[in-house]
């Protein structure tokens, strides 16, 4: 009888051990977690870009009125016509965090009209009017420091830059009460420039984005010996494509 009891106990113990062993294997297999790839990093490292847009407004000063000792009055009204700009840029974005400092070289063409309307009223009441129109071509060569805020694919930014510009005016066309006259000569000037920038990128891939950008661009007049402020402030709005490599 004791042998039968011992035999039954041995069978029950073996079955219990095999059951626990099976459960341990199943449990260990459930704890295996597949590796998750790291999220992509958008917009870091070196880049090149192209952009273009409109010079929507340039502040060429308000109306001016001059009167001489004879009683003659001259009124001058600058026209602030829109223009076009377009260029290339290249730079480097540091880091992969939310805040990413960036350095950039920004080179672009900027062309706009430089028209003026004038009215001369003589002391005896006789009036002479004249309109002049000239196309001004400029090239800006700027170095920018930018702070980007990286929220994955959407990355707004702000910054500022300094550099130089070259400006050249074409011949001037005069419309007067006595007819239209044209000149073929022009003038040129090189001076300092500075700008403030704001914009935003949207990255379609980790390397490619499209962006919109606003510039307040100021062409200074440090080389003119005059007490009058002759800086030219401009508002530029455009869009472009940026590629990282």
Q: How far apart are CA 113 and CA 210, in angstroms?
A: 29
pLDDT at residue number 11: 54
10 φ/ψ angles, rounded to the nearest 5 degrees: -65, -40
- pLDDT tens-place string over residues 192-232: 999 999 999 999 999 999 999 999 999 998 755 555 556 88
Look up residue 190 and give its two tokens.
């090189």
- What is the Cα Rg of the chain in Å? 36
Look up residue 243 and give its two tokens.
């590629």
Q: How far apart are CA 36 and CA 8, in angstroms?
A: 50
Q: How far apart are CA 142 and CA 212, in angstroms?
A: 18
What 8-state DSSP symbol labels residue 134? Answer: -
pLDDT at residue number 32: 74
pLDDT at residue number 44: 97
Question: Mean pLDDT for the chain?
Answer: 81
Q: Is the pLDDT of residue 1 over 70?
A: no
What proportion of the chain, given as a percentage, has pLDDT over 90?
49
Task: Return the CATH class of domain 45-244.
Answer: mainly beta
Look up residue 25 and give its two tokens.
């294997």
Q: How far apart are CA 10 and CA 217, in angstroms?
A: 93
Q: Is the pLDDT of residue 9 over 80?
A: no
Q: Is the pLDDT of residue 176 over 60?
A: no
């Amino acid at each position: 009888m004791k042998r039968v009891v011992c035999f039954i106990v041995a069978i029950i113990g073996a079955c219990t051990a095999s059951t626990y062993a099976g459960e341990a294997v199943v449990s260990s297999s459930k704890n295996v977690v597949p590796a998750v790839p790291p999220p992509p990093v958008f917009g870091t490292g070196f880049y090149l870009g192209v952009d273009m847009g409109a010079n929507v407004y340039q502040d060429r000063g308000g109306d001016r009125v001059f009167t001489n000792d004879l009683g003659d009055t001259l009124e001058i009204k600058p026209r602030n016509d829109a223009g076009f700009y377009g260029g290339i840029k290249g730079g480097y974005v540091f880091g992969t965090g939310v805040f990413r400092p960036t350095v950039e070289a920004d080179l672009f063409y900027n062309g706009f009209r430089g028209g003026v309307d004038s009215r001369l009223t003589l002391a005896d009441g006789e009036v002479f009017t004249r309109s002049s129109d000239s196309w001004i071509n400029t090239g800006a060569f700027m170095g920018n420091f930018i702070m980007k805020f990286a929220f994955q694919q959407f990355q707004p930014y702000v910054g500022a830059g300094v550099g130089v510009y070259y400006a050249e005016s074409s011949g001037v066309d005069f419309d007067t009460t006595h007819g239209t006259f044209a000149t073929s000569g022009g003038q040129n000037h090189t001076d300092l420039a500075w700008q403030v920038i704001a914009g935003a990128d949207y990255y379609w891939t980790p390397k490619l984005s499209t962006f919109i950008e606003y510039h307040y661009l100021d062409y200074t007049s440090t080389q003119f010996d005059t007490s009058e402020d002759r800086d030219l402030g401009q508002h530029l709005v455009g869009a472009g494509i940026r590629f990282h490599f």
